Amino acid sequence: MLSGMRPTGKLHLGHYHGVLKNWVKLQHEFECFFFVADWHALTTNYDDPSDIQGSVWDMVIDWLAAGVNPGSSTMFIQSKVPEHAELHLLLSMITPLGWLERIPTYKDQQEKLREKDLATYGFLGYPLLQSADILMYRAGRVPVGADQVSHVEITREIARRFNHLYGREPGFEEHAEGAIVKMGKKNAKLYRTLKKRYQEEGDMEALETARALLKEQQNISLGDRERLYGYIEGGGKVILPEPQPLLTPESKMPGLDGQKMSKSYNNYIGLREAPDSVAQKVRTMQTDPQRVRRTDPGEPEKCPVWGLHKVYSDADTQEWVQTGCRSAGIGCLDCKKPLIESIIEEQRPLHERAREYESNPDLVNAIIEEGCEHARDAARDTLEEVRAAMGLSYR
């Protein structure tokens, strides 16, 4: 599984509830690669890259503070794995221009960032760079929000086109048959049976069983495994597997004004904001405009504070807010007090973990260096096969 973030500096609670908590969960379920997308930052901020480096380290510390564990996942910086750039270049040779121009976010971003000159190849090609990021690690799952599914879909199309063009290596069937023999008599017989059931009867369960069988094989290479995936499906070698989108739960983290929490709206609470600052921001939040006086009844559904209660408060506290607000039994500052306590309590372990890394930048650098080495090992394996498939392996 692969996911990344552009370096935008210190993160806020919207990032924590929308992305990082999910990453922390997924790192125990998949082999996860999490990367800092610094090249992607240049697609829109190429004219002023001065903040990128500082933002990278701030963001990595936030990941670690949130519980992303370098022992359970691989964390790396995109530009420190130059194989991404080469795969991007090679995929650009086969990607039709129209595929990039039709990506919904391409025109949306141009409209939203109208003040910037985005008539660059880098901006047009950023979905392809994103595809290279995913395909480099042969990621089976890519956690995305609903608005990013189109990026995974173009990645699937590019992988399909690449495999169609280059998957039929010379002597493909002979190589595949040789790979079956390496599995041992029992597994080879089972594979052939499953292959026959799928190809002659269309038995999808047989296909899934065969895939699971291949995944368990320790005595065949990754290349042979991908070759046998393609062989059972009646095609060629699957050099670049097609990823699937893994829809992330929609973030229910509202900002201080009730809109989506965002730095651009200046309505956010930082992931590691000081407790006094958190308290000040919540105390000064706008409330139901109908509650002019303490004795005026209010309507929680019209109040931005209620949106935060739905994230942070238990059922009893929510009931207390609903009843007290509508009856004017509690004031707005009373309503905000348990919310402030809950946010500060949630942030306490994040501050504690962050202090360890802030005081030891060498440790953070070592984590990233180790992650980059692991990522490069995986990237080199993929590129070796891609180059060979495209006739660029000079040995």
pLDDT digits (tens, 9 = 90+) for 10-60: 999 999 999 999 999 999 999 999 999 999 999 988 999 999 999 999 999
272-359 to CATH, choices 1.10.240.10, 1.10.10.10, 1.10.1500.10, 1.10.3720.10: 1.10.240.10
> Is residue 65 a contact partner of residue 271, using CB atoms and an 8 Å limit?
yes
Structure tokens at 298: 């209010």
Domain at 2-166+243-252+360-390, CATH homologous superfamily: HUPs (3.40.50.620)
Digit-coded pLDDT (tens) for 329-379:
999 999 999 999 999 999 999 999 999 999 999 999 999 999 999 999 999
Same fold, 2-166+243-252+360-390 and 272-359: no
Q: What is the pTM assigned to this prediction?
A: 0.82
Mean pLDDT of 234-243: 80
Under the banding of pLDDT at 50, 70 and 90, the label for residue 94 is very high
The enclosing H or E element of 36 equals strand 32-36
pLDDT at position 98 over 70: yes
Contact partners, residue 260, CB within 8 Å, separation at least 6: 14, 251, 253, 254
Q: What is the mean predicted confidence (pLDDT) over 139-147?
A: 88
Whole-angstrom Cα distance, residue 145 to residue 274?
30
DSSP string, 183-247: T-HHHHHHHHHHHHHHHHH--HHHHHHHHHHHHH-SSS-HHHHHHHHHHHTTS---SSPPPEEEE
Q: Which amino acid is at 347?
A: Q
Mean pLDDT of 174-191: 92
pLDDT of the residue at 235: 67
Mean pLDDT, to the nearest integer, of 88-107? 89
- Please, what is the average pLDDT of the chain? 91
Give the residue extent of every domain in the chain. Answer: 2-166+243-252+360-390, 170-233, 272-359
